[in-house]
Every structure is written in C-alpha cells, then in structure tokens.
Amino acid sequence: MEDKLFILSKPRQAIMETGHIEILLIEDNADDAGLIVRSLKKVNSDKYLYHVKNGEEAVQYLTSDNVSLPKLIIADLKMPLLDGFDFLKKIKSDKFLKIIPIVILTSSQEDKDILNAYNLGVNAYVVKPMDYSVFSETINQIVKFWLFLNQSPIF
C-alpha cells in the first residue's frame, strides 16, 4: 500500500483535481488498512479515503494549506510517532479541526483507553472485530452513520 490515496469509486483524476476527501484513515498496520479499504469499497459510495500511517502525518495533512477537511476521521490508538491519544489532544484543541468527528478503531478494550479517548473528545470508540465479515459490517455501519445519517458541519 505504497500509495496513500485510495479512491473508492471515482476515477483517480477526479480526486487529484479536486483534492477532496471524505474519510481520513490513520492506521499504521497495512493489513488492517487493507481490510478497511476493502470494507469501504463494499459500501459502493462515491466517497474518498486518504490513508496515513500515524497521527503526525494526519496532523500535517489536516494543517496543510488549502486542504479539504474530511467529514470523518477513523484512527487507531497504538501508532508510532504520534499515537491516537496525542492526535486527539492536538485536533480537539484546534478551533477549526475539533468539529471533525473522530472514530477510534482499535484492538484495545482497556477501560483506561476508552475513558481516556472519550475524555479527549473522541466521538466513538470501536474495538476491531476479529472476524472479517463482522469487521466489514462494522466499517459499513460507521460510514453509514457518520457520512449519511449524521448532520455534519463539514462540507
């Protein structure tokens, strides 16, 4: 997964020209990222996904000039350089970025991690299912809710 940019159903040129994304995925594990991308393809929506491998890359992307803000951020907790907790601290303390919904998608079921994430302003905390079909359906439900049902101030 060398290319960080994944297009779910639009031609590559369209996203290259508009720079528009709807989901920012922060996941350092290539296998998990691949499962998420495959799951999102099953949604058959015209949404764009941009993948970075850690919170530091995500902050760099989100604070770049003329960037299209995503409607949803899906982030792991345990990542190198800037983990999910430090990422949450940075984003939720920024007056422009704090409105972006963030869903933590992680393998940690630790009560302290869940409490810490919510105290830092996460919008949802989801434990990664081990079964692929359940994992895929979980991703589908996350996207349906946050992109289609939830009313977001991000355009």
Nearest to 62 by CA among 117, 15, 54: 54
Asked if residue 155 belongs to a domain, the reply is no
Pairing label, strands 5-7, 48-52: antiparallel
Q: For residue 45, give Cα distances in angstroms to 21, 40, 79.
A: 13, 8, 28
Find out whether 148 and 141 touch, Cβ atoms under 8 Å: no
Asked if residue 100 belongs to a domain, the reply is yes
Q: What's the domain range around 11?
A: 5-149
Q: Report pLDDT digits (tens) over 89-121.
A: 999 999 889 999 999 999 899 999 999 999 999
CATH number of the CATH domain containing 109: 3.40.50.2300
pLDDT surpassing 70 at residue 155 = no
Q: Report pLDDT digits (tens) over 24-60.
A: 999 999 888 888 888 887 765 445 788 889 999 999 9
Looking at the structure of the chain, the number of domains it has is: 1
Cα–Cα dist 31/152, whole Å: 30
Asked if residue 45 belongs to a domain, the reply is yes
Asked if residue 142 belongs to a domain, the reply is yes
pTM beyond cutoff 0.85: no
